[in-house]
Structure formats: structure tokens, C-alpha cells
Structure 1
Amino acid sequence: MQSPTADPLDLVREDLREFAGYRSARSERLDGGIWLNANESPWCNPSDPDARLRRYPDPQPEALRALLSDMYRCRPGELLAGRGSDEGIDLLVRALCRPGQDAVLVTSPTFGMYAISARLHGARVVDVPLHDTPQGFQCDFDAVADAAEANAVKLVFLCSPGNPSGTLLPIESIAALAQRLEGRAVVVVDEAYLDYAQAPSATSLLDMQRNIAVLRTLSKAHALAAARIGAVIADAGLIAVLQRCQAPYPLPGPCVELAVAALAQPVRAGSAAHIQTTLDERERLHAMLASSPLVRCAYPSRANFVLARLKEPQDAFDRLLAAGIVVRDLRSSERLGDALRISVGTPEQNRAVAAVLGSDGVSA
């Protein structure tokens, strides 16, 4: 594969390529002992005696950015920290898609925020559905490329592992798609669940394919969903554009402190142990569902959940809810009218699911 020549900045909305964005008080790298440039209160809130909350936070904290770039194996300038993966999706659509003209491509069934962000920004949504096979949902990359070329698609959203499919996409196919769409579209790989797949990240392709962007989050494997910390990893020039489109203070200080503490090596070792337990339990949950007389089909998964089609989905959902077990009801989704998505819980929680669905003894 040859090194690409196309600059992804050429895909950015022309009116935003030189857009300076808002320069907040914290954007100015100034030193001083008396800070009177941000109209903050000179007194602490009585509930905050340590003065942790009085000042506006750093828009892109260097310590967090360094830890994330080290973990995701990219350069700090290639990473933008934000509010979960959702903000990254929104920023990409906002920066690249001209309302009423450009489109994004999705592969259903997939994460709903891609299409929602597109519609909120006036971009069309092109859907190239995944193929439902006995081996799981599969992506037709040639069909994706054809549709992207024919429909003025600026962003191709690929979820790997997929939500709710659980399918891991071949990294070689992602690279080939990005190469074919070079100069036309950015291929966005949402890797929210990649920690559970133990597979190479698409960040490894960035040096060869500048039209790839990767989404990561601390909400899943690092158990920080409430902190809302995620990242976009992409070409440094594109990252700079996204940062200029971002809100002035996207990362609350206490959330950043939690994330920095969670990324310390001893804590990350504990997260790794929980990931391994989740992988073991995922196989048990899948086997249980596959053997249940109530289940029509349980799809293989590389994420921390299992997608299952039920013979009587309402009855199964009601049984689980009566036992105090809440799962994701996907029956309102097109092509998933009989499906539930069940997250992998603790061993005890998974046994409770098995007890409700009647797994022919596999729950033990």
C-alpha cells in the first residue's frame, strides 16, 4: 500500500477550514499569580473548600491527552479528548458535512447516534445493511465503497466490534476501503468495544491512510461511563479542525481527575483482569443463550454483550424484567424485531439470566 497524498483537510467544509473557533480564557497559555481573565468568582463555593471547582478547566488537559495517546498508540497531536464517543461523532459530522448536500454512510444494524447526528446537522443518511449470516452480521465493503462514491458521502461510520451485532471487522478490509475512498470520504472506525476483542486497532493505519478516524471511549472496559471521557484519533490537521469546532470547556475537571487516576498502570492492570473475566463470561452467556429453548439464534460476539433473537421476545423480556433483570429491547429496530441485547454481567448476574431463560443446565 502506497503512502497517500490526499489531505483530509480537503474534505472539511470549505467555510470551516480556516475557522478560528472560540478562544476561551484557558486557551491562552499565560502565566500569572492573579487570574482575572475569565470572569470567574474570586471566592470558592462553600461546598468546595479545596477550590477544585472555581476555575474553568483546561480544554485539552496535557496529562490526560498524553495518557490516552500512549494507550491508543498515537501522537498527542492526533488525539482530541471529548465527552465520550458521542461528541466525536457530532464533531466529525459538523466539520465535514455541508447541510443539505453531503451524506454519511452507516451499516445497519448499528449505533443509532451516527444517523441522529447526521440528521441534526442536515446531512443525508445512506444505509448499506450488514448481511445476516449464520456466522454473524457481515459487512459488504465493496457495496459500502460503491454507495459512498455514488452518494456524495463524506463520512463512513463503521462500528468494530459492532453495536449491536458484536462483529469485529477485518482491519485489512478497513484499510482497503479507506484507500479506495481517499480524497472522497473519511472512514470512521468506532472502537468503543475493541478492548473486548483483543484485536489490532485501526489507529495502526493512520500513518498510511490519512482519511481514517478512530473513536475510543473510557465508558466500557475502563468502567467510567459517568465520567464521559472519549477520544477522536485522526490526522493532526483534522484534529485541529475538530478542536476549533468543539465547545470551549468540554471536559469537567473532576472527570479528568478520575480519568487520569484510572489510567495509572496499577488501575489499568485491574481493568485488564475485569476484561478477561468478561471474555470468559461472554462465552458462558453465549453458550447459555444458544442452548435455551426460548432463543432462536445467539450471535457470536467480540464485544461485552450478546445479541439474541427470541422465539417469543415479549415473553422473554417480561420474564427477565419480572426477575429484576433489565436488558436492551431492540424490537423497534429495523431487521431486529425479535431481538434482545444482553450485556455481559458478573458471573452471578449471568447465572440469573440463565435461570430465567432456561438454558438446559448450561448456566452452571
Structure 2
Amino acid sequence: MSVRDLVRPDLRDFAGYQSARKARVTGDVWLNANESAWESDGDGAARLNRYPQPQPDTLRAGLARLYGARPEQLLVTRGSDEAIDLLVRALCPPGQGAIVVTPPTFGMYAVCARLHGVQLVEAPLQARDERFHCDVEQVEEAVRRSDARLVFLCSPGNPTGQALPIEDVRRLAAAVASRAVVVVDEAYQEFASGPSAVALLAESRNVAVLRTLSKAHALAAARIGTVMADPALVEVLQRCQAPYPLAAPATDAALAALAPGVLEKTNARVLEVRGARDAMANALSRLPGVRQVHPSDANFLLVRFADAEAAWRVLIEAGVVVRDMRSVAGLEDALRITVGTARENRRVMDALVAPCNGMRAVRA
């Protein structure tokens, strides 16, 4: 079967909005988009009077090279968030259908499902031996039971920090091949040591992979994400996308980040973050008030405390803002701490040493 068969029937031949920039025409006098013929007089606004290309060829090709995909397998999106929304809209009729998630996981999957009136089916990760494990059989059963069209797997996980074995993704994709698209959200893949699920695109038509320049490439404000999938699905997603999703300055910033010299610096920074992450995990695990530091393949640590409220309070008092995970089921004692600069990491440790020494730690 074709992955196109999993798309909403009413969208399979949907043409979408045909913007002026989608028309493959050439000329030197552009009067087809009702733009201003004059550049803005505002500071920093020069050359922004024309609409940008919806999918700039140079950016699409550059990201394809970076991730090991083909340009026709790739759609550039406004961060991974837009890609998630497009997938839910394209595959799940409003008010119908379901998606499967594996909590604790990234909250945008549930948000998009809620906004679209789609059922959220959970197949929770299993915590054992300090790690979180995805039960592939449980996820497969959830797909069959709910007739879900989408499975969202976050790898490395947010907030768990742990990557899924690629063989588990391959096995799940094969098991639900005629039923659902398996979406692997790899926002933190640069910090992991294992292979990307992009390698599965050649063999599994129902696999989609999300990537972003927000984390390792330091472009969170530019909102440059990517969804990679079978070209037939990519075409449908593009037709569901807004006419001009990518602002020209954001595209310019992304292209600059893909320059060879910049990529070398990015790779060096990623190695630095990995080293700091492991050193920080080791230091935190020795504090008496820390119950557990989960292994991480990302740029953050999920840390359980004997008294998470006290840890949260002393960090805030020290001017250090971390992510409070205590409202998430199963993480009532946890905080998520991003790896920062050496000075920022030192401030975390300095803030926690005294109160943690006063806590009675109970190891998980």
C-alpha cells in the first residue's frame, strides 16, 4: 500500500492555496502578488517587501544533506511544532480518529490532538533499571484498538532524555505498516550516539522523522524545523501548509548555520555539551538529596530529588530557572535541567549543594 492511503480521503487530492510564489514563472517585473514595489524604510527591514519562497530550494537541499535524506523527502516547517500539527491535520479527520503517544513525552502531541478533536491514546513508557523503555507490543495494540493513524515517538525523549533503539522503531513500523505512520521526533538527535531513524525512510514508507535547528544549531528563535517522510506524504503536508511559512531572515539564518565552517563549530559545541552533561550527571548523582539522575542522550538531565520543592525553590532563589516536571504522572519528584555553559552549570551545582546535603535521599 501507499502511505497516501493513510491520509484523510478528503485531502488526498487537495490542492491547497496556490500562492504567487508557487507559480513557476520568470520575469523581472513582479506584479502578481500585490506586494509593495518599495522596500520598507524601517531599520533592518530592507529587501523584505517581496514574499519569500514557500520552500527555498537551497535550504531544502542543505537540510537534506545535513540529515541524509533526499530533498523530495523533506519539508521545511516553522519548528517541529508545525510539523506535528500538519501531520495530525493531514491524517486525522477533525473530531475523529486517534493518535498514540508514549508518556512521559513532549506535550505538543497532546495539544495538537486536543485542538483537532482527536483522541489521545497512551502507551506509557516503562521505567526500569534507571531507564525508560518503550513497549512496542503495547504501542502496536494501542494502534489496533483505537484505529490510530499516527504514533508519536520522541527519541531522545523529552523529558526522559533517552533514545529509543532503532530496531524497536523498525519493528513497530513494520507491525503497523498498513494502519499508521510512525513519527520519530528527533529534536535532540545531535546529542545522541545512536543512528537516526532517517535511515529507515528507504525501507519503511510509514516512517516520518522530525528534526530542528532549534537545539544543537542554536536557532530556536528562527523556527526552522523539518519533517522527512515518503515524498507522497510530504506533498500532502505541503499542500496543507500556510502559503509562506518561512520568513526570509529565518531562511538566511538557517543557510548561514549550514555553512561548513559553522557546522564544524556546531559539532564541536555538541561534543562539549555531551561532556558537560555527563560530568554534571556524575556530580548531581553524588549529592545526598538527589534520588536519581536518569541517563541522557540529549542536552538535558531528568533529575529526581528527595525534596523536589526545596530543590526548585533554592534554584529559583539563585536565579536559575529549570523545568518543573512534578505535574507529570510518574515524575512527581523530578526537575529537568538543561546543560548550559560551564558558568551556568556551576551555578546549578552551587545552588543545590547545601540544601541537598540537608535532604535525606532515598535512591530510586
* Cα shift at 1:51: 3.7
Matches within 5 A, 1:43-82: 43-47=38-42, 51-82=46-77
Per-residue CA distance 1:35-77 (angstroms, 9 max, x = gap): 0110111111102688421000000000100000011111100
Post-superposition CA distance 1:104-148 (Å, at most 9, x none):
000000000001101111110000111111231111111111111
The counterpart of 1:180, out of the listed 165, 169, 175, is 175
- Which consecutive unaligned segments of at least 5 residues does structure 1 have? 1-5
Which residue identity is paired with 2:148?
Answer: V
SS in structure 2 at match of 1:189: strand
Identity of aligned residues (%): 55
Shift of 1:198: 2.6
3-state secondary structure, aligned to 2:149: strand
Task: Tell me the equivalent position of 2:275.
Answer: 280
Q: Which of 314, 317, 321 is equivalent to 1:319?
A: 314
Output the amino acid matched with 1:281. Answer: A
Question: In the alignment, what sits opposite 2:83?
Answer: 88
Q: Structure 2: 5+ residue runs without aligned partners?
A: 358-364
- The equivalent of 1:168 in structure 2 is 163
4+ long deviations beyond 2 Å: 48-51
215, 221, 225: which one aligns with 1:220: 215
Deviation at 1:338, TM superposition (A): 1.3
Q: Which residue of 2 aligns with 1:205?
A: 200
Deviates further, 158-167 or 289-298: 289-298
Letter of the structure 1 residue corresponding to residue 123 of structure 2: V
CA positional deviation for 1:174: 0.3
Classify 1:214/1:49 alpha carbon distance in 2 versus 1 (closer, same or farther; 3 Å): closer
Q: Determine helix, strand or coil for the equivalent of 2:335.
A: strand
What's 2:93 paired with?
Answer: 98
Give the TM-score, by structure 1 length.
0.96
1:24 aligns with 2:46: no
2:5 to 10, 15, 21: 10
Structure 2 residue 347 is matched with structure 1 residue 355: no
1:296 deviates by 1.3
Q: What TM-score, normalized by structure 2, do the two folds share?
A: 0.96
Matched, 1:191 2:186: yes
Q: CA RMSD in A?
A: 1.2
Q: Which amino acid aligns with 1:184?
A: R
| Distance in 1 between residues matched to 2:44 and 2:288, nearest whole Å | 59
Contact 2:40 2:47 in 1 (8 A): no
Per-residue CA deviation, residues 288-346 of structure 1 (Å, 9 max, x unaligned), is: 22111221111010000000111111111110111111100111112211110000011
Q: Residue type of the partner of 2:250?
A: C
Residues 102-121 of structure 1 aligned to structure 2 (within 5 Å): 102-121=97-116
Aligned pair count reads: 355
Secondary structure, in 3 states, of the residue corresponding to 2:350?
helix
The change in CA–CA distance for 1:49 and 1:103 in structure 2 (over 3 A counts) is closer
Letter of the aligned partner of 2:231 in structure 1? A
Matched to 2:117, the amino acid is G
Q: Could you say which residue in structure 2 is the equivalent of 1:307? A: 302
Of 244, 253, 260 in structure 2, the residue corresponding to residue 249 of structure 1 is 244
Amino acid at match of 1:176: R
